[in-house]
Amino acid sequence: MKKSIKDLGDIKGKRALVRVDVNVPLDENKNVTDDTRIQACVPTIKYLTERGAKVILMAHLGRPKGEWKPELSLEPVAKYMSKVLGQDVLFVKTPVGEGADKELANLKDGQVALLENIRFYKAEEAKDDDMTFANELAKLGDFYVNDAFGAAHRNHTSTAKLAKVLKPAVSGLLMEKEIRCLSQALDNPTRPFTAIVGGAKVSSKIGVLENLLDKVDNMIIGGGMAYTFVKANGGKIGNSICEDDQFDTAKAIEKKAKDKGVNLVMATDVLVTDDFSGNGTNKFVKINEIPDGFEGVDAGLESRKAFADVIKSSKTILMNGPVGAFENPKFAEGTKAVLAAIVEATKNGATSVIGGGDSVSAAKKFFKAEDFTHVSTGGGASLEFIEGKVLPGVAALDDK
* 269-273 vs 282-286, strand pairing mode: antiparallel
Spatial neighbors of 195 by CB under 8 A, at least 6 apart, are 212, 215, 216, 218, 219, 220, 317, 318, 319, 320
37 catalytic, yes or no?
Answer: yes
Catalytic choice (52, 207, 379, 380): 380
Catalytic choice (46, 51, 201, 286): 201
Q: 214 exposed, middle or buried (CB, 10 Å; 0-12, 13-18, 19+)?
A: exposed
Rg of the chain over all Cα atoms, to the nearest angstrom: 23
Q: Which sign, positive or negative, has the C-alpha torsion 205, 358, 224, 310?
A: positive
Q: 260 exposed, middle or buried (CB, 10 Å; 0-12, 13-18, 19+)?
A: middle
Count of other CB atoms within 10 angstroms of residue 372: 24
357 catalytic, yes or no?
Answer: yes
CA 341 to chain centre: 21
180 catalytic, yes or no?
Answer: no
Question: Would you say 173 and 47 are in contact if contact means Cβ atoms under 8 Å apart?
Answer: yes
Question: Would you say 59 and 118 are in contact if contact means Cβ atoms under 8 Å apart?
Answer: yes
Give the total residue count for the chain. Answer: 400
191 catalytic, yes or no?
Answer: no
Question: Would you say 340 and 368 are in contact if contact means Cβ atoms under 8 Å apart?
Answer: no
| Cα–Cα dist 58/22, whole Å | 9
Catalytic choice (2, 14, 19, 37): 37
Provide the H-helix boundaries in 144-300. 162-165, 173-187, 206-213, 226-232, 247-260
Catalytic choice (357, 364, 365, 388): 357
Q: Nearest 5 degrees, angle CA 332-CA 268-CA 255? A: 115
Q: Which residues are catalytic?
A: 37, 201, 357, 380
